[in-house]
Every structure is written in C-alpha cells, then in structure tokens.
Amino acid sequence: MARTIGDAETLQQRIEACRLCADRFALTATAHAPRPVVWFSPSARLLIAGQAPGVRVHVSGRPFTDPSGNRLHDWLGLDAAAFYDRTRVAVVPMAFCFPGHDAKGADLPPPAICAATWRGQVMAALPGLRLVLAVGGAAIRWHLGQRNMTQAVGDWRHWVERRGVVPLPHPSWRNTGWLKRNPWFEADLLPDLRARVRKVMEGP
C-alpha cells in the first residue's frame, strides 16, 4: 500500500500518465485526449469523492473550477484557499479524466475502468482521512453501496456515524430542482455538514 509521501507521489505520477481511456475518448463527440486531474496528498483529512471532471476542469487541470465548484464551496463553508489546500483536502473523483460529451452535449458517465484501476490504491494512500464526502450517485454507490441517491442523502446521519461518509447530491445547477423539492437538505444537512467540515479542517 502507498503509505509514504514518496509512494503517493509515485502513484500520482502513474495516474497522470494513464491513457487507458484514450481510444474511448477519441470516439466521443469531443474527441479529446485524456488529462487526469490528480489532487491528493497522504496528509489529507477530508476527501471529496466526486464524479468526474467537467470540460472546464479538463481545461484548467484544477478540480471544481466551475459553477458546481462554487456551490460546493458554499455547501462546505470553505473558501478557495482552504478548499484547494491539498495538505488537508483530497479531491478524488470516480474517474480522473473528463469522460466527454455525448451527441446531445451531455456529460458521459465516469468510465468504470478508472475506479477499478486506481481507486483502491488512492484510498490506501490516504491513511489520515477523518471525513469522506460522497458527491453524486457514482460516488455514493462506490462508498456506500446505495443506488438511490435521495434515500442515501436523507439517511446522512446514519452513514456519517457508521462509515464516516456524508452522501451529497452533485452540486450541478441541474440539481436545483432537487434542492427545492428537498428543503431539509439546506435546513438540516448543510449546517451539520459545515460544522463537521470545520471540525476536521481546524482540528490537530
């Protein structure tokens, strides 16, 4: 298992060099090349487990540099400096590369081969995690084995106490309707989440 800083750096380099999905991406509507966005350090205490980079993140090489990221910062109560402090925050999506667009312009799902190849190794390289945020359906399925996102998020107290995992909807603006239909998310879950994140980030 990758335990030392050197091991983690080697793992990061291997992921950054990964081209497993090159042929797959070449066949998408965007016909792009892989660009893994790797953002973790073995000292991280908070893990943000997302879906896959969007096209803006593919260009910037920095996770959540898009409107979804702005919303996520607000949900967590973190400014940009804290959010991008790699010594404390790891951002490890279910796929490290932008998966491309389909013919209608929608994001394709994260290729399963990415998590199958890399996720176990990355989790082993993060021994100091104190809180995991499973953001979106794919991350919720991997970390909790739950397929119903609304039910999983509604049971967040159970999951955070039992597994140390807070399930969250994806912060995409496409989920604004879901947020309006589930007002308990902003009224109950977010204050609890911000308190937990603050405790993790400020603790020794």
**d(Cα 204, Cα 201) in Å, to the nearest integer?**
8
For the stretch 96-151, pLDDT in tens is: 999 999 888 888 999 999 999 999 999 999 999 999 999 999 999 999 999 999 99
Total domains in the chain come to: 1
Single pTM value for the model: 0.94
- Tell me if 71 sits within 8 A of 173, measured CB to CB: yes
In sequence order, which ranges of 103-189 are alpha helices (DSSP H)? Answer: 112-114, 120-124, 137-144, 149-154, 156-163, 176-181, 184
Residue 8 has pLDDT above 90, yes or no: no
For the stretch 40-56, pLDDT in tens is: 999 999 999 999 999 99
Give the CATH number, domain containing residue 98: 3.40.470.10
pLDDT computed for residue 2 by the predictor:
44
Q: Residue 126 is part of which domain span?
A: 5-202
Residue 1 has pLDDT above 50, yes or no: no
Pairing assessment for the beta strands 131-135 and 89-91 based on DSSP bridges: unpaired
